[in-house]
Homo-oligomer: A and B are copies of this chain.
């Protein structure tokens, strides 16, 4: 099977153990992650050959970041090493009525400072079938926006399927700039991922009668969002995750996929959350896995939702389940009976 390439930032994630707040923690758990890296790791855990492209510093933190991906079999040979810093993010896990909080410290990172000529897209895309990135990558710097565009052009020229998770981050850029850049990039995109608010924030596409903050989700309304997105950019498929937040501890999780005029709706999982960061990335990985394996649309969606449901039960940003474990959930009823 050919490779999947993902491209984006790889950060040091620091988080208080358990439900600790930063002001009370004397130790931080250490992870190395990022939206696109998470997708690569999940696909690799499903058995797909994956390649992750980024830039990290030449010192030990860069080594540790590379090792963190390499342990799961991701090909890290195209990762650039330079003298800039590793972006950091701090994540405080919420519980019940207390929301999770994220503090980003990612300016001037190795990837944000990367130069176009450092990436040999022709080589990177050799023997590649799918290219995935998110809206975070072009938001990191104007140069990265250009690099993303260049990557898309090369990928398109090579007939590689391109997917993008809109992933709007208001602290990285404003809606106008996001709209401008993402509009250009989306012309190359085949499969678009979004959560409940991305389409609204970037493209002003609004689900009728929805108030995301209230935690209420109407899957039918979102089908119209998917349809509008697909129409505007001629996407092959649009996938939207639907997170109903009851509290920080309990969410309902489902998704829809719109393709060729048809919307598939997934089952809705009531999840008692272990760690929800990386949920969207694990969903994207599930969809890419399904499409690369030519699963039917409904099964692809079901697989992706089951995969990302399981991610919510795992500590850390990476989805550590195998394809077999996802299938076990699909074939069972999610009652979690012990497996001896």
Please list the residues of chain A having a beta carbon within 8 angstroms of any beta carbon in chain B: 14, 17-30, 59-61, 63-64, 67-68, 70-73, 85-86, 88, 90, 92, 94-105, 107-108, 169-171, 213-215, 245-250, 269-274, 276-277, 306, 309-310, 312-316, 318, 320-321, 325, 328-329, 332-340
Complex Cα spacing A196 to B215, Å? 32
State whether A28 and B26 are in contact (beta carbons under 8 Å apart), knowing that A97-B309, A335-B247 are contacts in the complex.
no
Q: Which residues of B contact A328 (CB under 8 A)?
A: 99
User: CB-nearest residue of chain B relative to A94?
Assistant: B336
State whether A335 and B108 are in contact (beta carbons under 8 Å apart), knowing that A24-B316, A29-B27, A60-B22 are contacts in the complex.
no
Residue of B26, B247, B340 near A29 (CB, 8 A) is B26
Residue of B28, B86, B337 near A99 (CB, 8 A) is B337
Is A14 in contact with B28, judged by CB distance below 8 angstroms? yes
Complex Cα spacing A316 to B27, Å? 13
Nearest CB on B from A33, distance (A): 12
Is A103 in contact with B61, judged by CB distance below 8 angstroms? yes
User: CB-nearest residue of chain B relative to A244?
Assistant: B335
Is B102 in contact with A338, judged by CB distance below 8 angstroms? yes
Residue of B274, B315, B334, B338 near A101 (CB, 8 A) is B338
Is A60 in contact with B335, judged by CB distance below 8 angstroms? no
Is B30 in contact with A30, judged by CB distance below 8 angstroms? no
Nearest CB on B from A335, distance (A): 4
Q: Which residues of B contact A108 (CB under 8 A)?
A: 107-108
User: CB-nearest residue of chain B relative to A316?
Assistant: B24
Residue of B20, B94, B338, B340 near A315 (CB, 8 A) is B20
Is A97 in contact with B23, judged by CB distance below 8 angstroms? no
Nearest CB on B from A34, distance (A): 14
Is A94 in contact with B63, judged by CB distance below 8 angstroms? no
Is B313 in contact with A97, judged by CB distance below 8 angstroms? yes
Q: Which residues of B contact A245 (CB under 8 A)?
A: 335-337
Residue of B96, B98, B272, B339 near A95 (CB, 8 A) is B272
Residue of B17, B27, B272, B320 near A247 (CB, 8 A) is B272
Q: Which residues of B contact A90 (CB under 8 A)?
A: 60-61
Identify 22 residue pairs between A and B in the complex whose beta-carbon atoms are under 8 Å apart, listed by A's number: A17-B27, A20-B315, A22-B64, A24-B315, A24-B320, A25-B30, A26-B26, A59-B103, A60-B90, A60-B92, A60-B101, A67-B71, A70-B70, A85-B105, A97-B309, A98-B325, A100-B338, A101-B339, A102-B339, A108-B108, A247-B270, A247-B334
State whether A98 and B313 are in contact (beta carbons under 8 Å apart), knowing that A23-B320, A26-B29, A336-B245 are contacts in the complex.
yes
Q: Give the top 6 A-B pairs by smallest Cβ distance, nearest first.
A: A248-B336, A71-B71, A245-B335, A98-B313, A215-B335, A97-B334
